[in-house]
């Protein structure tokens, strides 16, 4: 029996042939998806798996000088990881085969900085193979993330590195079976180890990787794989890492360079435009990437911060429910397994989604439409639960209505709509109304863009009659309207009590600079809405800057933390830091120096953990570099007990 996706591809490829009773289908409108994009749209939800040396060094971004010896999962279980993700409703898995630190999870022939020089299986292990084999065994698609930036490699920033990068891409796409997505990000260039030549290396992101020819390797070796990056060419970044697609979120997009005179490329694009896309762009749908935990890699101090079932459902409806895909990161722990709490929440999330959509209340409705194109395109195809069929109207009918009438009132709080994607995105405006007791239509939902899917989610309603209005530049082609009542299965999570830090008695005893409206005391007031900032009104203070905090008494601490400003601005956000400690305020020792990796895209609390607890009364926090500007900002500076 032909599957729905197979039928969709056949119909999409045969649009010029007559349908039943010689009624011709509508002509495609605007940009349309490729076959590989159509297959990708069917997945909707898949998983990211971040796992490398960072898991063992408690970092988000490694510097590149980490020894392969630190990578030593004690009980790695690829089957457990894949089974857990499948039970959580994931249709695929994208593995971080190499992150920015350059450590390779496979025994690459082109570097010694890989799993072959780690204690794992005495250097005979291959994490990429184990995960890809487990994906095939359990029926998940397999994808790879290969970081373009490599902070370990001696030639990064030079032409020789591109050959190395392409050789590794070729290895991954040649030796591990079918790949459904190849993932590239825009984090490129900066400080690193670089084979011992520590320092900063800058590149021209628009030209350095020669992306057109690099992407061609994917096309040749994995022709069915979609390529993800800030600019596609198949799937775009939605522009944030907090789990939300825009309203609307068009499947079409025009990448625009953020640097005059340069072509758009990963890292060289007005990425915030990916949130909504463009009505007149190329077919370049959005992927929403977000983590089940605050960070992308496993950190024990985040065990009490795993997203709830309710929060995961919110992410689902604000990504998949807005026409994008959800790429949910679920990081393994030091053992090399998904933690039990994460697994429980994932399974409850999947149960909530599957049981919500298992019952379609529209199946009991009498469905009529203002117009129908003819046999083969009738309004009944909206409720036949077959994505390869669709309702359409006569050419030129740009405004259309569908009415659903029920024998008795139905209670619902969710409506799902889908367009038939091979014909393009044709509905530009939609609304939903119910008929009240007086026979008047009352609108309760409206918006722009349907595309792959649009899910309306609201308060429970009881109605006997619904009307759907669709407007667009051409006749619609809608494959589904379904109506549901949400099912939610929360997990009763009893986290261990956190050690809350009382800042009463703390005071700032020294500061290099502070603004009159941003005194350093606001960095320890417990209010994330206030800031210590060093912009001096008529001029910037410059960077670096520091603040010295007196805890009031000698205290044993495990680390310190920094909360960046929470207003969405990058101005003054610290990227590189030094932490000094003292028991008496006179004799100081350096406790930590480093960077807050990925703080631009994920501006959450940044924890700097020490190897062992230390006793201190005074903390001096040095801000060495910032994201934007020549001043420093901090919403909060605190300690981890």
Residue 14 in this model has a pLDDT that exceeds 90: no
The DSSP line for 84-97 is: HHHHTT-SEEEEEE
Question: Is residue 13 scored above 90 in pLDDT?
Answer: no
Which residues on neighbouring strands pair with residue 142, listed in sequence order?
A: 93
pLDDT tens column, 368-407: 999 999 999 999 999 999 999 999 999 999 999 999 999 9
How far is the C-alpha of 524 from the C-alpha of 505, rounded, in Å?
10
CA nearest to 434, candidates 414, 402, 471, 464: 464
Lowest-confidence segment of 10-24, 220-234, 291-305 by average pLDDT: 10-24
Q: Is the dihedral of CA 233, 238, 243, 247 positive or negative?
A: negative
Residue showing tokens 């940009």: 31
Residue 497 has pLDDT above 70, yes or no: no
Burial of residue 73 (CB within 10 Å: 0-12, 13-18, 19+) is buried
Q: What percent of the chain has pLDDT over 90?
A: 88
| Phi-psi domain of 449 (left: phi exceeds 0; alpha: psi -120 through 50; beta: other) | left
Average pLDDT value for residue range 617-624 = 97
Q: Which two tokens stand for residue 107?
A: 């025994």
Domains, the chain, in order of start with CATH, read 4-30+359-484 (2.60.120.260), 46-242+286-355 (3.20.20.80), 507-640 (2.60.120.260)
**What is residue 12's predicted lDDT score, i.e. its pLDDT?**
42
Cβ pair 79, 134 in contact under 8 A:
yes
CA distances from 241 to 34, 93, 568, 599, 603 (A): 26, 18, 12, 11, 9
Question: How far apart, in whole angstroms, are the C-alpha atoms of residue 17 and residue 24?
Answer: 7
Contact 585/592 with Cβ under 8 angstroms?
Answer: no
Question: On the CB side of 105, how many CA atoms lie within 13 Å of its CA?
Answer: 30
Provide the pLDDT for residue 495.
Answer: 53
Indicate the pTM of the whole model: 0.86
Question: Which tens digit of pLDDT belongs to each residue from 61-87?
Answer: 999 999 999 999 999 999 999 999 999
Give residue-wise pLDDT tens across range 584-595. Answer: 999 999 999 999
What's 448's DSSP letter? Answer: S
Distance CA(270)–CA(196), nearest Å, equals 34
Q: Longest Cα pair distance anywhere in the chain, in angstroms?
A: 91
For 16, other C-beta atoms within 10 Å of its C-beta total 8
Query: Reduced to 3 states, what is the DSSP secondary structure of residue 176?
Result: coil
> How many residues can be counted in the chain?
641
Per-residue model confidence (pLDDT) at position 95: 99
CA dihedral 511→516→517→519, nearest 10 degrees, is 20
| Mean pLDDT in residue range 529-538 | 89
Strands (E) in 22-140, as ranges, are 45-49, 92-98
From the centroid of its chain, how far is CA 118? 30
pLDDT tens digit sequence for 535-580: 888 889 999 999 999 999 999 999 999 999 988 899 999 999 999 9
pLDDT of residue 334: 96
222 pLDDT band, cuts 50/70/90, is very high
> Which of the four pLDDT bands, split at 50, 70 and 90, describes residue 528?
confident
CA 389 – CA 480 distance, rounded (Å): 9
Q: Which stretch of 242-256, 282-296, 502-516 has the lowest confidence by average pLDDT?
A: 502-516
Decide if pLDDT at 96 tops 90: yes
E-state strands within 323-398:
325-329, 366-369, 391-392
How is the chain split among helix, strand and coil, in percent rounded to 5?
Answer: 25, 30, 45
| Mean pLDDT (the chain, rounded) | 94
Return the pLDDT at 611. Answer: 82
Please report the pLDDT score of residue 494 as a whole number.
Answer: 59
Name the burial class of residue 336, with classes exposed (0-12), middle (13-18) and buried (19+) by CB atoms within 10 angstroms of its CB: buried
The pLDDT assigned to 493 comes to 66
pLDDT in tens, 289-338: 999 999 999 999 899 899 999 999 999 999 999 999 999 999 999 999 99
Please say if the pLDDT value at position 4 is more than 90: no
Q: Is the pLDDT of residue 29 over 70?
A: yes
């Amino acid at each position: 029996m032909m599957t729905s996706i197979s039928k969709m591809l056949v119909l999409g490829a045969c649009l010029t042939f007559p349908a039943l009773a010689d009624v011709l289908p509508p002509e495609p409108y605007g940009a349309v998806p490729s076959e590989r994009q159509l297959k990708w749209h069917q997945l909707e939800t898949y998983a990211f798996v971040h796992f490398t040396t960072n898991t063992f060094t408690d970092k988000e971004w490694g510097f590149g000088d980490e020894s392969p010896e630190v990578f030593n999962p004690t009980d790695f279980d690829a089957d457990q990881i894949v089974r857990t993700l499948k039970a959580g409703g994931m249709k695929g898995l994208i593995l971080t085969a190499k992150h920015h630190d350059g450590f390779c999870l496979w025994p690459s022939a082109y570097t010694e900085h890989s799993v072959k020089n780690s204690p794992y299986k005495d250097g005979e292990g291959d994490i990429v193979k184990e995960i890809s084999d487990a994906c095939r065994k359990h029926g998940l698609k397999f994808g790879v993330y290969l970081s373009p930036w490599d902070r370990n490699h001696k030639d990064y920033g030079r032409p020789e590195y591109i050959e190395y990068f392409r050789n590794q891409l070729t290895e991954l796409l040649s030796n591990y079976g079918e790949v459904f997505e190849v993932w590239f990000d825009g984090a490129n260039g900066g400080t690193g180890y670089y084979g011992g030549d520590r320092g900063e290396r800058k590149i021209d992101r628009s030209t350095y990787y020669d992306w057109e020819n690099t992407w061609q390797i994917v096309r040749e070796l994995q022709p069915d794989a979609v390529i993800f990056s800030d600019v596609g060419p198949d799937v775009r970044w939605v522009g944030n890492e907090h789990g939300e697609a825009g309203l609307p979120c068009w499947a079409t997009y025009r990448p625009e360079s953020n640097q005059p005179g340069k072509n758009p490329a990963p890292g060289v694009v007005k990425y915030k435009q990916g949130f909504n896309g463009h009505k007149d762009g190329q077919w370049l749908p959005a992927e929403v990437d977000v983590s089940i935990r605050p960070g992308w890699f496993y950190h024990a101090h985040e065990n009490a911060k795993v997203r709830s079932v309710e929060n995961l459902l919110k992410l689902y409806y604000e990504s998949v429910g807005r026409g994008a895909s959800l790429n949910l990161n679920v990081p393994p722990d030091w053992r090399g397994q998904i933690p039990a709490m994460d697994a429980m929440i994932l399974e409850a999330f999947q149960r909530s989604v599957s049981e919500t959509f298992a019952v379609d209340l529209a199946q009991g409705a009498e469905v009529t439409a203002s117009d129908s194109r003819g046999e083969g395109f009738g309004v009944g195809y909206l409720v036949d639960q077959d994505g390869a069929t669709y309702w359409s109207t006569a050419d030129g009918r740009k405004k259309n209505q569908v009415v659903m009438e029920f024998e008795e009132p139905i209670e619902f709080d969710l409506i799902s709509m889908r367009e038939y994607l091979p014909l393009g995105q044709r509905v530009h405006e939609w609304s939903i109304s119910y008929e009240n007791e007086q026979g008047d239509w009352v609108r309760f939902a409206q918006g722009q863009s349907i595309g792959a899917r649009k899910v309306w989610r609201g308060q429970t309603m009881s109605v006997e009659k619904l009307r759907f209005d669709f407007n667009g530049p051409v006749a619609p082609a809608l494959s589904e309207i379904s109506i549901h009542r949400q099912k939610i299965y929360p997990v009763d999570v009893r986290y261990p009590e956190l050690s809350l830090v009382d800042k009463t008695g703390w005071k700032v005893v020294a500061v290099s600079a502070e603004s009159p409206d941003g005194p350093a005391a606001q960095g320890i007031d417990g209010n994330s809405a206030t800031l210590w900032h060093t912009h001096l009104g008529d001029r910037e203070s410059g960077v670096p800057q520091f603040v010295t905090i007196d805890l009031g008494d000698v205290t044993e601490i495990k680390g310190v933390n920094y909360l960046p400003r929470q207003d969405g601005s990058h101005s003054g956000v610290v990227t590189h830091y030094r932490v000094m400690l003292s028991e008496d305020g006179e004799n100081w020792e350096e406790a930590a120096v480093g960077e807050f990796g990925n703080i631009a895209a994920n501006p959450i609390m940044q924890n700097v953990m020490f190897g062992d607890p230390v006793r201190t009364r005074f903390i001096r926090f040095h801000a060495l570099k910032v994201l934007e500007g020549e001043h420093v900002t901090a919403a909060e500076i605190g300690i981890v007990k």
